[in-house]
Amino acid sequence: MKVSVDEDKCCGAGQCVLLAPEVFDQREEDGIVILLDPEPPEPLHTTVREAASMCPAAAIQLSEKA
């Protein structure tokens, strides 16, 4: 799995950080998402998918590695 984020879309809700803190963080100054791990290990895939689906701004994109 590859993860990417669109910082311009991010509204700073923080749902991704609450669900998958190993993969996502937020900037101190404005709460915009920071991607910590663009290729998280398989045990985190379900949680990362949930975080992407919960994002109110649809700022998280996922793709399966070929």
Quote the pTM value: 0.93
Give me the domain span that covers residue 12: 2-63
For residue range 5-48, list pLDDT tens digits in order: 999 999 999 999 999 999 999 999 999 999 999 999 999 999 99
Give residue 65's pLDDT: 72
Give residue 66's pLDDT: 60
Give residue 63's pLDDT: 96
- The CATH number covering residue 55 comes to 3.30.70.20
Long-range contacts of 6-15 (CB under 8 A, 24+ apart): 6/59, 6/60, 6/61, 7/32, 7/33, 7/59, 9/57, 9/58, 9/59, 10/57, 10/59, 11/56, 11/57, 11/59, 13/55, 13/56, 13/57, 15/51, 15/54, 15/55, 15/56
Q: How many domains does the chain have?
A: 1
